[in-house]
Amino acid sequence: MAQSSQPKVEIAQPNTWVDRYGNYLYAYAMSRLRNTEAASDCVQDTFLAGIKALERFDGSRDIKFWLRGIMHNKIVDQIRKSIKENKVDIDHEDEALLESFWFKYSGITTTNPDPWQFNPRKAYDHSEFWDVFNVCIDKVKEPARQAFVLRMLEDMETEEVCKVMDITPNYLWVLLHRARQQLKVALEEKWTGKDVK
C-alpha cells in the first residue's frame, strides 16, 4: 500500500517565519551565546539553511523545532569558533582539583556544597524564575558557561562537548561543577525570598 506523503503538520511558509519564530529563535540563541550580533547571525543563518533544506522537511514535527534543530548546529559552530580564538586553559585551581585524591577516588569535586537557600523545585511554577535563570546563566564565566550550554542546555554527549572544547572528560566535569556553583550563587542572590508569596 502506498504511503501518504502528506506532512503531519502544517508547514509555515518562509515568508511567515520571521514573525512566527524570529523572537523564539533569537531568545534561544541569546540564552546560549549572550551576544546580540552572534545571536542575530545565528537566526539569519538558520532561516537561510531552513529555506535550502525545506524540501527535505518531512512534516513529522512542528517546523519551529525543526528550525531549532538547525540552529543547534549554528550555536555549536559559534562556540567552536569562539574557543578556537580563545583556547581553553586549565587554571591553577582547577588543575589542583583534578589532581586531588578525592576527585580521582570518587569523581566528586566538593564533598559538602552549601545547601540551597531556597527550594529550587518550588520555584519552577513561577515564570519569573525562568527569566531570572536565563539572566543568571550570563553570570557564569567562560569557559564554564560554554561547557554548561553545550552539555546541559544543548544536551550534547560528553565526548562531543570534549571534542568541540578540546578538553578531557574530567576537566569538563570540573567546568560543569564551576558552572553549577556560579549559577547557584547568582540564583540565590536574585531569587531567595521571592518564591515565598
Partner 1 sequence: MFTCKQVSHSLSKDDYAKLSLTKRFFLQLHVKLCIFCGQFNRQVMDSQDMCRHFKEYEDTQCSCAYKLKEAKKDDLKALLAAHSVNSAEDG
**By CB under 8 A, what part of segment 126-145 binds partner 1?**
127, 130-131, 133-135
Spell out the residues 6+ positions from residue 37 whose beta carbon is closer than 8 angstroms to its own.
none
> Is residue 69 a contact point for partner 1 (CB under 8 A)?
no
Nearer to partner 1, 64 or 80 (CB): 64
Query: What is the amino acid identity at position 132?
Result: V
Q: What is the CA radius of gyration of the chain?
A: 20
Which of 16/86 has CB closer to partner 1?
16
How is residue 87 written as a grid cell?
583556547
Tally of CB atoms within 10 A around 63: 22
Query: What CA–CA distance (Å, rounded) separates 30 from 53?
Result: 24
Question: Dihedrals φ, ψ of 37, to 5°?
Answer: -70, -45
161 binds partner 1 (CB under 8 A): no
Site string for partner 1, 170-189 (x = CB under 8 A): --xx--x---x--xx-----
Which amino acid type is present at position 95?
E
| Number of residues engaging partner 1 in binding (CB under 8 A) | 56
Q: Which residues contribute to the site for partner 1 (CB under 8 A)?
A: 14-15, 17-19, 22-24, 26-28, 30-31, 39-40, 43-44, 47-48, 51-52, 54-55, 65, 105-113, 115-116, 120-121, 124, 127, 130-131, 133-135, 152-153, 155, 157-158, 169, 172-173, 176, 180, 183-184
